[in-house]
């Protein structure tokens, strides 16, 4: 899969509030776009995978050096590296505002990326070489999440050049191991350096606009995400020789339990975020699907509406907890009856759904087949963030100014971000970007989330400067 981003996207995302702000403009949109592009190129070409070749500390230090060169004081720029993980460094920088007593805003972006093998990419593309072609940027991380890291850093520099003084401090954290690894940066910062990242709320990845055939449809704001928890399903049997088969078979038992999971739907659930999503999406989507959205919000027990929405996985997965088999192993020899069969079932749990209730239901489904169900670890609690006017108001105003008629949609992510660590600690998190992606590209992205090529639109970058200044 190609990770790509359109260059004009960075322009709209970064240039933003100058027309709205009262501060003097000292940098042109083109200068700022060039800076953001340069920073993105620098980040993409530093390998930050969770491998022996990857080094997040180098990327964090590179952005720190840029800020220091732009005049930020050393006491406001910190590269923080866990003692036991020298390549898992994180950058925390603070943009000083007026001493208004307001708590800071935290801007969060991870700069680690999923492993990328050059042989899996197109022959003319290298995952760790930044390329601009046909209106797109290509390279590992241009969509997840080095684009936002570059934009945040560029905006810090731009606001300083323009003499902008916010009414509160703005903190930027560029972190490690969001994509997996032993030293998640957000968890580390909360444990070891909480005072540097404590904030009233945070802006993070997870949001972004949708467009189709060049027409902007919605600007999505992520305000909730599902919890992640996997379960081991295990079937056992005394075994024997395959020439003397018996009906009781560990693989058959496991298969029966997995089919029971496949045919079961957890109950429909709503929170403030998903209710707003379906209510506001109804008119945008229209037709039978839009009508089903209106009906399910007014009556979650409407079975016909649920059937219509279940035909589109992007909608059905936001209605309930979902569990699906993802890994399977069993038996030890071709000519032996299996003594053990085991599967991994991955669940994405609705924020208000108790994981212990999910476990109990899965065990109930598996018990008739003599299959045991055990959780693999525990789910990190991640309560939905409130849709307060303090956050949504500026986003809606700026969206209307920049893209008249575009709807702001609160969304719940079906996947996980580092926002869950902050929400667990009482810091609300909102996924906001202002970067628009074509719906067809996004569908491919969701199907091949960790795939082989990354690209993103290179336009629409103005929005973040506006939202961070408000």
Of 470, 466, 438, residue with least CA distance to 16:
466
> Counting beta carbons within 10 angstroms of the beta carbon of residue 193, is it exposed (0 to 12), middle (13 to 18) or buried (19 or more)?
middle
Residues 156, 174, single domain; the answer is yes
Q: How large is the angle between the packed helices 146-161 and 7-15, nearest 10 degrees?
A: 40
Residues 31, 56, single domain; the answer is yes
Q: What is the mean pLDDT of each successive set of 10 residues along the chain, which is 470 residues long?
A: 51 36 55 90 95 96 99 98 97 92 93 88 87 86 90 93 92 95 94 97 88 86 96 98 96 99 98 97 95 98 97 96 98 97 98 98 99 96 92 89 92 92 95 76 38 44 54
Is residue 318 a contact partner of residue 302, using CB atoms and an 8 Å limit?
no
Residues 97, 184, single domain; the answer is yes
pTM score, whole prediction: 0.85
Q: Which of 362, 381, 400 is the last residue of a domain?
A: 381
344 belongs to a structural domain:
yes
Coil, helix or strand at residue 444: helix
Q: Which of 366, 381, 396 is the last residue of a domain?
A: 381
Residues 376, 388, single domain; the answer is no
Question: Residue 63's domain is classified under what CATH number?
Answer: 3.40.630.10
Residues 214, 125, single domain; the answer is yes
309 is written with which tokens? 């929405």
Compute the distance between CA of residue 156 and CA of residue 171 in angstroms, rounded to an integer: 10
**For the chain, how many structural domains are there in total?**
2
Determine the pLDDT at residue 67: 99
Determine the pLDDT at residue 374: 99
Residues 172, 234, single domain; the answer is no
Compute the distance between CA of residue 43 and CA of residue 79 in angstroms, rounded to an integer: 15
Question: Residue 255's domain is classified under what CATH number?
Answer: 3.30.70.360
Residues 244, 139, single domain; the answer is no
Q: Which of 339, 357, 381 is the last residue of a domain?
A: 381
337 belongs to a structural domain:
yes
- Which distant-in-sequence residues (6+ apart) come within 8 Å of 374 by Cβ? 231, 232, 234
Compute the distance between CA of residue 222 and CA of residue 4 in angstroms, rounded to an integer: 21
308 belongs to a structural domain:
no
Determine the pLDDT at residue 439: 65
272 belongs to a structural domain:
no
- What DSSP string runs through 274-306? HHHHHHHHHHHH-HHHHHHHHHHHH-TT-HHHH
Residues 243, 109, single domain; the answer is no
Compute the distance between CA of residue 38 and CA of residue 35 in angstroms, rounded to an integer: 5
312 belongs to a structural domain:
no
Determine the pLDDT at residue 45: 96
Residues 52, 175, single domain; the answer is yes
Residues 350, 205, single domain; the answer is no
Number of Cβ atoms within 10 Å of the Cβ of 168: 18
Determine the pLDDT at residue 37: 92
Of 103, 116, 102, 97, residue with least CA distance to 44:
116
307 belongs to a structural domain:
no
150 belongs to a structural domain:
yes
Residues 41, 150, single domain; the answer is yes
Residues 417, 358, single domain; the answer is no
- Which distant-in-sequence residues (6+ apart) come within 8 Å of 275 by Cβ? 297
Of 268, 259, 269, 242, residue with least CA distance to 331:
242
202 belongs to a structural domain:
yes
What residues make up the domain containing 370? 227-262+327-381
- What DSSP string runs through 301-363? T-HHHHHHHTTSHHHHTTTS-EEEEEEEEE-S-TTEE-SEEEEEEEEEE-TTS-HHHHHHHHH
Determine the pLDDT at residue 460: 46
Determine the pLDDT at residue 24: 44
Compute the distance between CA of residue 259 and CA of residue 358 in angstroms, rounded to an integer: 17
Please list the helix, strand and coil fractions of the chain in percent, rounded to the nearest 5, in that order: 40, 25, 40
């Amino acid at each position: 899969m190609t990770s790509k981003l359109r260059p004009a996207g960075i322009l709209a995302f970064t240039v933003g509030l100058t027309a709205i702000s009262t501060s003097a403009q000292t940098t042109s949109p083109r200068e700022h776009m060039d800076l953001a592009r340069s920073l993105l190129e620098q980040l993409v070409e530093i390998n930050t995978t969770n491998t022996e070749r990857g080094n997040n500390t180098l990327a964090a230090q590179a952005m720190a050096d840029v800020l220091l060169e732009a005049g930020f004081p050393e006491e406001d720029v910190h590269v923080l590296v866990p003692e036991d993980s020298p390549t898992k460094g994180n950058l925390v920088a603070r943009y000083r505002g007026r001493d208004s007593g307001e708590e800071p805003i935290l801007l969060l972006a991870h700069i680690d990326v999923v492993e990328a093998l050059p042989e899996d990419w197109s022959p003319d593309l290298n995952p760790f070489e930044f390329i601009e072609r046909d209106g797109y940027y290509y390279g590992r991380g241009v969509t997840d999440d080095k684009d936002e890291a570059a934009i945040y850093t560029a905006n810090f520099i731009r606001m300083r050049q323009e003499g902008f003084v916010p009414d509160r401090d703005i903190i930027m954290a560029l972190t490690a191991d969001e994509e997996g690894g032993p030293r998640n940066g957000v968890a580390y910062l909360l444990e070891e350096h909480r005072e540097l990242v404590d904030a009233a709320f945070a802006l993070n990845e997870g949001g972004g606009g949708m467009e189709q055939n060049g027409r902007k449809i919605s600007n999505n704001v992520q305000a909730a995400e599902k919890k992640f928890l996997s379960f081991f399903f295990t079937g056992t049997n005394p075994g024997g020789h395959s020439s003397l088969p018996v009906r009781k078979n560990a693989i058959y038992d496991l298969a029966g339990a997995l089919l029971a999971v496949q045919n079961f739907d957890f109950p429909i659930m709503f929170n403030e975020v998903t209710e707003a999503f379906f209510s506001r999406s109804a008119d945008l989507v229209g037709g039978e699907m839009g009508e089903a959205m209106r009906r399910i919000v007014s009556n979650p027990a409407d079975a016909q509406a649920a059937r219509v929405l279940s035909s589109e996985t992007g909608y059905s997965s936001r209605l309930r907890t979902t569990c699906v088999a993802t890994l399977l192993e069993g038996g030890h020899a071709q000519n032996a009856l299996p003594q053990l069969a085991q599967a991994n079932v991955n669940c994405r749990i609705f924020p208000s759904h108790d994981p212990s209730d999910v476990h109990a239901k899965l065990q109930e489904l598996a018990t008739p087949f003599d299959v045991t169900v055990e959780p693999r670890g525990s789910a990190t609690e991640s309560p939905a963030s409130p849709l307060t006017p303090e956050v949504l108001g500026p986003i809606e105003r700026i969206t209307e100014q920049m893209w008249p008629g575009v709807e702001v949609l609160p969304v719940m992510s079906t996947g996980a971000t580092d926002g869950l660590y902050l929400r667990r600690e009482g810091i609300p998190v909102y996924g906001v970007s202002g970067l628009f992606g074509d719906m067809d590209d996004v569908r491919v992205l969701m199907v091949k989330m960790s795939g082989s090529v990354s690209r993103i639109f290179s336009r629409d970058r103005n929005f973040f400067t506006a939202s961070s200044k408000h």
